[in-house]
Structure 1
Amino acid sequence: MYPFLELFSARSHTHYFQHTRSFYIYRRVRVIALLLAVLQSAWIFVDQWLLPTGVQWPIAIARLVSSVLFLGLFCWWIRPYSRRLAMLRLLLLFMVLTAFHSFSSATLILHGYEQSVAGYQFFPFMIISMMAIFPLAIIEVLGLTLLLTLVELVTQLSRGSLGDVASVNNLWLLLVLAVVAGWASVNQLNMLLVLHRQATRDPLTGLANRRLVLEQLENDMASCRDDDQPIAVLLFDLDKFKGFNDNYGHAAGDIVLKEFADILKKQARKKLDLPGRFGGEEFLMVLPGMDAKAASAVADAINNTCRGVTVQVPSGERVGFTTSIGVAVLKPGETQSELIRRADEALYRAKDSGRDRYQLAD
């Protein structure tokens, strides 16, 4: 069920995958916008050869205006990891192309040249086929298809051709292309989800790996600064884990790591917090929007949960485990490495104070 939900709607994606997909869409929109800006301007010279004299200048001006808008999209680099802005960029890309098509079709109709000019009738099919370039959820594909189909219906209505055989054929072809392009787009999303999991997940615990934790911590720090929100990190170390492995074996150690990972998943806020394996028996959790008091409460809850949990090791015994935690909240102007260093210093103070506790960084 979950794989279908991930393909149906972007709302089911994690906060961190949304960052990845948004940046992917952002880069592709920029490349395509630059390409279209060049082609729209260059095609003016082709229009001088193909178009009748009466419509050359209006359409040339429309091409130049759309080129400027495409260049604006190319230069719009602010917040590339924002899902809302990524979808807005994509929508603007389609709307600029659609607006140019609507204007050029209306101009050709008014001057009586619509059927005598080659190429312009294929614009709707080209636009809807472009969906295949982007990794989109099913509901996003349906939304774009509905929008472009409505534009085509309005265009046919303005021509007075709505309902005739040629128009019905065009509408049918448009929907067939939408199905093909939409299928390719959803497949892209599925492939991106699979690759994202393989590249960013720890194979033993299923948590984020060190690379994803550091990347997303950097992104969340930037977002929280922009929104004037706090952000905290918890750095964990399982107490006396080396001795545990020596006594019970590495298979027992893996069971403890998986159990601790499950505890972190349950304590994390869905789609907001990111728990990850930092290396060996060390874990790190990113808590966007949390101040020192809230982060300390989470650390205390994790300590209490660990005290009440036992696991069955391969020898048949049931054993418990505890963790020491360093808590640090981002300071103004602080870098990622400085934040983690303070959390690490707090963690060592917690261990020096007797373990099985959390310590707030200075």
Structure 2
Amino acid sequence: MLDVMSVTRHTRYFNQTRSFLIFQRVRLLTLLLAVLQVGWILVDRLLLPEAMQAPIASGRLVSGGALLVLLLWFQRPYDLRISLFRVFLLLAILTAFQTWSNLLLLNAGYIDTVAGYQFFPFMILSMLAIFPLTIVEVSVVTASVILVELLTQIGSDRVGMIDEINDLWLLLVLGAIAGWASVNQLSMLLGLYRQATRDALTGLANRRQVMDQLEGDVEFAAARREPISILLFDLDKFKGFNDNYGHAAGDIVLKQFARILRKQAKGKRDLAGRFGGEEFLTILPGADSEAACQAAQEVCDACRQTQVRIPSGETVGFTTSIGVATLGAGESPSELLRRADEALYLTKSNGRDGYVLSGEGASNGESSASDMPEGEPALPQS
């Protein structure tokens, strides 16, 4: 329930996915409505009194032009706030035309003799089912449409009449039904997103999502001239650990290390993922080299302080080696990743259980060098 209540529990990466989906659907719906608004002028010539045809046609042309402008607005398709604002503008354009045309027909005395125009509020609310929206977003839209309808009734001095009360009640019911469909879409999108982007064992982002997000974050950081850093992790002597204690014990260590990374990636902009096997990667948008090194040190300290109980009943500790790299001017994601990998190699050469910042060539002073030979597993601790 909390996942579909509001955006507070959603990651920035899921919000970008939802934003682009909303952007695509707004554009498709806007195109269809723009064509219908203008094309319906021909239908109005058959249904409307002659005195109403010209002013209603003008309103349709204006609203159709506004929809066309919205259709041509391509900027920032991955910004959720902008995408939700697009939805608001779409509904606002239709609501403005509906309110204006109904008042025009009412003042001319044709409101009860012309069919179809009173149906607009219901059509607007039914469109909610097209978008994956949260409960809060659905509630705001439904309340806004009902409020506009109520104000229209008050302005036309028709509030309290049986037909008008029925309209308000039907709008509320339709809003609940369309809202349920919209929230259900969001729930399914969340489920599919997690299946497609999560590592099954650790629950962290999988390699595909990590690489996709790294490319997007590097492009975003370069455009805004903001720093971005990455941490590339490798669990020390993990192959020997698996050989000695078994893969079930190794899975326990991987899950515990994932919990450490998840806790360290506190900000909504940070992304921790499993890169493959015992390798992990954390993306830190907005973090310079100093902040990245601090994050690396926190992970090292957390690993040293952590012990896990494995199926044999023994308690073991584990450590990690980390390569740290901060984006340089004009650098590509692959180049940034290559430097982090080189720094990780230096960390292993320096004795593991620490980190190296790319370009410095030495692990930090607090890192402890391991004196265990290659392939020897971590020792059990009581």
Q: TM-score, normalised by structure 2?
A: 0.91
Q: In structure 2, which of residues 9, 13, 26 is the aligned counterpart of residue 12 of structure 1?
A: 9
Show the counterpart of 2:134: 137
1:184 aligns with 2:209: no
Aligned match of 1:204 in 174, 194, 201? 201
Does 1:259 pair with 2:256?
Answer: yes
Structure 1 CA distance, aligned partners of 2:331 and 2:118?
56
For 2:52, the equivalent position in structure 1 comes to 55
Which residue number corresponds to residue 24 of structure 1?
A: 21
| Correspondent of 2:36 among 36, 39, 53 | 39
Task: Write the mapping of 1:314-329 to structure 2, written as runs, cut at 5 A.
Answer: 314-329=311-326
CA distance, structure 1, for counterparts of residue 224 and residue 88 of structure 2 = 25
Which ranges in structure 1 are unaligned for 5 or more consecutive residues? none
* Aligned-residue identity in percent: 59
- Structure 1: distance between partners of 2:204 and 2:299: 16
**Equivalences for residues 225-304 of structure 1 within 5 A:** 225-304=222-301
Larger deviation: 182-191 or 217-226?
Answer: 217-226
Matches within 5 A, 1:131-170: 131-170=128-167
Alignment partner of 1:220 is 2:217: yes
In 2, the alpha carbon distance for the partners of 1:332 and 1:37 equals 44
Q: For residues 248-300 of structure 1, give each alpha carbon's deviation from its aligned partner in whole angstroms, at most 9, with x where no partner exists.
A: 11111111101110110111114221100011111000111100100010001
- Helix, strand or coil at the partner of 1:276: strand
- 2:380 maps to none
- C-alpha separation between the residues in 1 aligned to 2:142 and 2:40? 27
In 2: Cα distance, 1:319 partner to 1:11 partner: 37
The Cα of 1:185 is off from its aligned counterpart by 0.9
TM-score normalised by the chain length of structure 1: 0.96
Residues in 2 aligned to 1:180 and 1:45: alpha-carbon distance in whole angstroms: 33
Give the residue type in structure 2 aligned to 1:315: S
Bigger drift between 290-299 and 25-34 goes to 25-34
Opposite residue 282 of structure 1, the aligned amino acid is E
What is the CA distance between 1:346 and its match in structure 2? 1.4
**Cα separation, 1, equivalents of 2:343 and 2:67:** 50
AA partner of residue 157 (structure 1): I
* 1:245 to partner: Cα distance: 1.0
Give distance in 2, aligned partners of 1:77 and 1:175.
Answer: 33
Once residues 225 and 32 of structure 2 are traced to their aligned partners in structure 1, the CA distance between those partners, rounded to angstroms, is 37
Q: Gapped runs of 5+ residues in structure 2?
A: 360-382
* Structure 1 CA distance for aligned equivalents of residues 330 and 148 of structure 2: 49
Among 344, 357, 360, which residue is 2:357 paired with? Answer: 360
Cα shift at 1:176: 0.8
Partner Cα separation in structure 2 for residue 50 and residue 338 of structure 1: 66
For the residues of structure 2 that align with 1:337 and 1:62, how far apart are their CA atoms?
53
**1:130 Cα deviation after fit:** 0.7
- Give the match for residue 195 of structure 1: 192
Q: Any idea what SS the aligned residue of 2:190 has?
A: helix
What's the secondary structure of 2:199's corresponding residue? Answer: coil
Any idea what SS the aligned residue of 1:316 has?
Answer: coil
Q: In the aligned structure 2, how far is the partner of 1:341 from the partner of 1:55?
A: 69
Q: Could you tell me how far apart the structure 2 residues matched to 1:159 and 1:29 are?
A: 32
Cα distance in 2 between the residues matched to 1:283 and 1:298: 14
- CA distance in 2 between partners of 1:290 and 1:45 (Å): 59
Q: Does 1:342 align with 2:335?
A: no
- What RMSD over aligned residues (CA atoms) do the two structures have, in Å? 1.4
Code of the aligned partner of 1:328: A
Deviation at 1:61, TM superposition (A): 1.9
Q: 1:222 Cα deviation (Å)? A: 3.4
Runs of 4+ deviating beyond 4 Å: none
